[in-house]
Chains A and B, each alone.
Chain A
Amino acid sequence: MRIALVGNPNVGKTTLFNALTGAHQEVANWPGTTVEYVIGKIRTSEAGEDLELVDLPGTYALTAYARDERVTRNFLLYEPYDAVIVVVNASSLERNLFLALEVLELTPHVVVALNMVDVAREQGITVYADELSRRLGVPVVPTVASHGTGLAELVAWVRRIGRRRVVPLHTWVVPYPAELREVLEPLAAALAEAALAEAARNAGTLNAAAGAASSGGGPADRGAPGGRTPAGAGRFRPEWVALRLLQGDEEITREVRVVPQGQRAARLALSCCAQSAGIDVELGDEAVALDPALLAKVRAQYEAFELQIADAKYNHISRLVDECVQRQPLAKQTITERLDAVLLHPFWGYPAMAAVFFAAFWLSFVVSAPLSDWVSNGITWLGQWAARGMAALGAPAFLQSLVVDGVFAGVGAVLSFVPYMTIFFAIYQLLQDSGYMARASVLVDRWMQSIGLHGKGFFALVSAYGCNVPAMAATRVMENHRDRLLACLVIPFIPCNARLGVMAVMTAAFFPGTRGAFVMMALLLISAGVVAGASVLYRKTVLPTDPAPLLIELPDYHVPSLRNLAIPTWHRVWMFVSRIWKFLLWATLATWALTYFPVGAPVDQSYAARLGHLLAPVGQLYGFDWRLMIAIVFGFVAKETTLSTLGVLYGAGADGASLPHLLAQSMTPLVAFTYLVVYMLYIPCLSTVIQMHRESGSWKWTAAGMAVNVGVAFSLGLVLERLLWLFG
């Protein structure tokens, strides 16, 4: 049995999901977008059938038209499932029941999880679940997902509802006013007829293609009894289709029109609408499509219907709430109100935010640094141990080098990301779950907007100074695809921890003392300027829309549970490792091969060196020698390796000379500064490219973004070189 979890954002769907399924989860990606849903299994010890639970992204309505909000709607419309758990927040039923009613209009196979009853109680709100259940005609189970309260009863109801034929309490779920009913009822009748015709037709085609897998969506007993209808609107309740048609839902209109009877129904909807809009000609679609004035009128009428329908729902909800909810006025402020008085204070909110973010990043750096060291030391140690073993077995030298400098270096490159990622994602989840991230977005939205970015992207940008890869994953909080894409396009211009490290070493070598600090500052300002400039330019050229409206809920603050932090963190880290390891391993092997072959040749005659000499003409423009060009090419694999590559190429350590010393001898500070700028801005690393592809869902955008990165880095480098040459 397959059960969908639906609800507003932040009502506790994932908490409920984690509590019910534990570790039996897998992440499924919705094709074409980066929004994903998670599937989990509830195992039972008794004879009962296993339940498959699907955790869907939070949504406020099923009418959501925006592309990025459609995952939930599409799932409920087109995927097979047996029942829906609608999770509502007991402390804000007035808004939460709206979605519940929309789901009930779509299917009666619903169990309502009345979640967060503990929060409601604290706020002096009592919800009479039995009464609500009687009024809605479906089970309503009070739960506290974070403590696991009420879950057994919830599951028991789901089992019962999922298998039975359920008849809705009222055909129209919501008592729509008479003037709407006059339009809706004939329409629903016509649609029911169309559905029958469709079923008959489908039965014919199904018989013809006997044994063909049926791929219908929704609860099994919808449409023709005994079978799922594979396509068309016949699988939806006619009442629901009637409501959608009146609101001008183009997708559903298309579905309805697949049979002639449906076309008649669609025309009926259009003429109802025209009549209400005061257009008194007999309309065909063509007339409407041809005349912009008529089209505008019809559109306006669809919206008028939409408002009337929403109004009727909210009125119904008001009555439900009056009857089922008791409120005791609270004398004292809630915790959320008291916290927000500081955290959203027009002045104090900002230092508070700086403190929160500083603590977050400090933790991810400071705690992960020793862990990263352990990991890389451990890998090195294992590598040496393996080399010794191989030497003892008499393996050829190149094989030993392959294993140590190729395989183990590659594995080390993958694993060295893991400690930082784990801690970063845990903190990210903490800020998100606790409700603080929404506040931070609100605080910075104005600034972000001035450079064309969305307030919700702020954390991602700031966190990019740690590592670009999880920063790109963190752009996912933005619903709008373009906002997300823009953030992903500019993130690579922000130097990550690894790049900052290399920059710090080189700066210290060329600009000792206080000058070094100024140079670092200058570099960071250049990067910030490029981020802002690139973002504005992208907005002006290829992504010409304003950031999506910032319409976000400011949820009550919660203390997240450990499980809620651990499971998503694990998912994200695992996703990263499983995607990246192949690429990184191959890239490290390629690097190894280029520097190792031809066998026995000194470094400056390896294939890598030849590649470097090939690139030397480009480097000459900037004053970079072939070794610096090689470091740029190999830096693509992982920035962590830059220093060691340079070390090998410059022969550091061989005669006691340190790399900074050798570097300082081989070029002027001006060339070094130019190099640093180029180094800071060009493609960050392979992992970022792969993450970018994952977030943008397109190789085209990924390639374009990287081309811009390289272009900007090298042209800015050229400009700088000229300028510095003129003035220095």
Chain B
Amino acid sequence: MRGSGQHVRTLKLTNLEAGVEAQVKGLTGHPLFRNRLISLGITPHSQIVLVRRMPMGGPLEVEVRGTRLAIRRKDADQIWVSVGDSM
């Protein structure tokens, strides 16, 4: 298991550093929105990588389950992820 013995941080997807693999912890927000996230493969325990951020508060590009998705920052605020601080 990842993270055992390491320091684990939980943060919003919006604040994840680019290129770091994280694990989805939880989803909040409107049920319809969560339903949509689930069908796109963003479920608790899935691995997610933030690929890039669009400038000026634009959407984020993430990679999850082998596909790339774009998501607004406001919506990404509803997704909590955790990363192990491995050196």
Chain B positions 38-87 with a Cβ under 8 Å from a chain A Cβ: 38-41, 43-46, 52-59, 61, 64-72, 75
- Report yes or no: A551 in contact with B37, Cβ–Cβ below 8 A: yes
Bound CA–CA A303/B38 (angstroms)? 11
Q: Tell me, yes or no, whether B9 is within 8 Å of chain A by CB.
A: no
- Interface-lining segment among A37-45, A57-65, A164-172, A653-661: A57-65
- Interface-lining segment among A229-237, A306-314, A386-394: A306-314
Bound CA–CA A598/B24 (angstroms)? 77
Q: Tell me, yes or no, whether A727 is within 8 Å of chain B by CB.
A: no
- A203 to chain B: closest CB distance in Å? 37
- Report yes or no: A446 in contact with B56, Cβ–Cβ below 8 A: yes
Q: A442-B59, A442-B61, A446-B58 are in contact. Are A307 and B44 (CB under 8 A)?
A: yes
- Report yes or no: A63 in contact with B70, Cβ–Cβ below 8 A: no
- Report yes or no: B43 in contact with A311, Cβ–Cβ below 8 A: yes
A-side interface size class: 35 or more
- Report yes or no: A442 in contact with B68, Cβ–Cβ below 8 A: no
Q: Tell me, yes or no, whether B5 is within 8 Å of chain A by CB.
A: no
Q: Tell me, yes or no, whether A48 is within 8 Å of chain B by CB.
A: no
- Report yes or no: B35 in contact with A63, Cβ–Cβ below 8 A: yes
- Interface-lining segment among A92-100, A143-151, A261-269, A644-652: A92-100
- A327 to chain B: closest CB distance in Å? 10
Q: Tell me, yes or no, whether A550 is within 8 Å of chain B by CB.
A: yes
Q: A65-B32, A92-B66 are in contact. Are A550 and B75 (CB under 8 A)?
A: yes
Q: Which residues of A contact B39 (CB under 8 A)?
A: 60-61, 63-64, 98-99, 310
Q: Which residues of B contact A725 (CB under 8 A)?
A: none
- Report yes or no: A92 in contact with B67, Cβ–Cβ below 8 A: yes
Q: A61-B39, A91-B66 are in contact. Are A549 and B75 (CB under 8 A)?
A: yes
**Which one, B32, B37, B40, contacts A553 given CB within 8 A?**
B40
Bits for A61-73, please: 1 = Cβ < 8 Å to B, else 0: 1011110000000
- Report yes or no: B40 in contact with A303, Cβ–Cβ below 8 A: no
Chain A positions 29-83 with a Cβ under 8 Å from a chain B Cβ: 60-61, 63-66
Bound CA–CA A311/B61 (angstroms)? 23
- A120 to chain B: closest CB distance in Å? 10
- Report yes or no: B68 in contact with A553, Cβ–Cβ below 8 A: yes
Q: A442-B70, A553-B69 are in contact. Are A306 and B35 (CB under 8 A)?
A: yes
Q: Which residues of A contact B72 (CB under 8 A)?
A: 445, 449, 549-550
Bound CA–CA A65/B35 (angstroms)? 8
Q: Which residues of A contact B36 (CB under 8 A)?
A: 60, 64, 66, 549, 551
B63 to A, closest residue via Cβ: A554
Chain B positions 7-51 with a Cβ under 8 Å from a chain A Cβ: 31-41, 43-46
Bits for A81-109, please: 1 = Cβ < 8 Å to B, else 0: 00000000001111100110000000000
- B78 to chain A: closest CB distance in Å? 9
Q: Which residues of A contact B65 (CB under 8 A)?
A: 92, 94-95, 314
Chain A positions 161-214 with a Cβ under 8 Å from a chain B Cβ: none
- Report yes or no: A443 in contact with B58, Cβ–Cβ below 8 A: yes
Bound CA–CA A553/B42 (angstroms)? 12
Q: Tell me, yes or no, whether A438 is within 8 Å of chain B by CB.
A: yes
Bound CA–CA A347/B55 (angstroms)? 8
**Which one, A303, A347, A553, A554, contacts B34 given CB within 8 A?**
A303
Q: Which residues of A contact B56 (CB under 8 A)?
A: 446
- Report yes or no: B54 in contact with A443, Cβ–Cβ below 8 A: yes
Chain B: residues with Cβ within 8 Å of the partner, total of: 34
Chain A positions 429-486 with a Cβ under 8 Å from a chain B Cβ: 438, 441-443, 445-446, 449, 455
- Report yes or no: B61 in contact with A314, Cβ–Cβ below 8 A: no
A302 to B, closest residue via Cβ: B31
- Report yes or no: B32 in contact with A554, Cβ–Cβ below 8 A: no
Q: Tell me, yes or no, whether A396 is within 8 Å of chain B by CB.
A: no
**Which one, B33, B34, B45, B53, contacts A311 given CB within 8 A?**
B45
- B79 to chain A: closest CB distance in Å? 11
Q: Tell me, yes or no, whether A704 is within 8 Å of chain B by CB.
A: no
- Report yes or no: A346 in contact with B54, Cβ–Cβ below 8 A: yes
Q: Which residues of A contact B46 (CB under 8 A)?
A: 314
- Report yes or no: B43 in contact with A310, Cβ–Cβ below 8 A: yes
Q: A92-B65, A307-B44, A310-B38 are in contact. Are A550 and B70 (CB under 8 A)?
A: yes
Q: Tell me, yes or no, whether A371 is within 8 Å of chain B by CB.
A: no
- Report yes or no: B52 in contact with A344, Cβ–Cβ below 8 A: yes
Q: Which residues of B contact A553 (CB under 8 A)?
A: 40, 67-70
A549 to B, closest residue via Cβ: B75
Q: Which residues of A contact B70 (CB under 8 A)?
A: 438, 441-442, 445, 550-554
Q: Which residues of A contact B58 (CB under 8 A)?
A: 442-443, 445-446
Bound CA–CA A299/B34 (angstroms)? 13
Q: A92-B67, A310-B38 are in contact. Are A446 and B75 (CB under 8 A)?
A: no
Bound CA–CA A349/B67 (angstroms)? 21
- Report yes or no: A314 in contact with B33, Cβ–Cβ below 8 A: no
- A437 to chain B: closest CB distance in Å? 12
**Which one, B33, B45, B66, contacts A95 given CB within 8 A?**
B66
Q: A60-B40, A95-B41, A446-B57 are in contact. Are A66 and B66 (CB under 8 A)?
A: no
Bound CA–CA A441/B72 (angstroms)? 11
Q: Which residues of A contact B33 (CB under 8 A)?
A: 549
- Report yes or no: B40 in contact with A95, Cβ–Cβ below 8 A: yes
Instruction: Pick from A93, A95, A346 the residue with the most CB of B within 10 Å.
Output: A95
Bound CA–CA A162/B66 (angstroms)? 32
- B9 to chain A: closest CB distance in Å? 23
Bits for A550-580, please: 1 = Cβ < 8 Å to B, else 0: 1111100000000000000000000000000
Q: Which residues of B contact A66 (CB under 8 A)?
A: 32, 36
- A11 to chain B: closest CB distance in Å? 11
Q: A314-B43, A442-B58 are in contact. Are A554 and B68 (CB under 8 A)?
A: yes
- Report yes or no: A445 in contact with B66, Cβ–Cβ below 8 A: no
- Report yes or no: B35 in contact with A551, Cβ–Cβ below 8 A: no
Q: Which residues of B contact A344 (CB under 8 A)?
A: 52, 54, 61
Q: Which residues of A contact B53 (CB under 8 A)?
A: 346
Name B residues whose Cβ lies closer than 8 Å to a Cβ of A.
31-41, 43-46, 52-59, 61, 64-72, 75
Apart from A346-B55, A551-B40, A553-B69, 17 more pairs, CB < 8 Å? A61-B35, A61-B39, A65-B32, A94-B67, A98-B39, A98-B41, A306-B35, A310-B43, A314-B43, A442-B59, A445-B54, A445-B59, A446-B54, A446-B59, A449-B72, A551-B69, A554-B69
Name A residues whose Cβ lies closer than 8 Å to a Cβ of B.
60-61, 63-66, 91-95, 98-99, 299, 303, 306-307, 310-311, 314, 344, 346-347, 349, 438, 441-443, 445-446, 449, 455, 549-554
> Can you sample 5 A-B contacts with CB below 8 Å?
A60-B40, A95-B67, A306-B38, A551-B40, A554-B70
Which are the 5 A-B pairs with shortest beta-carbon distances? A61-B39, A60-B39, A94-B65, A446-B58, A346-B55
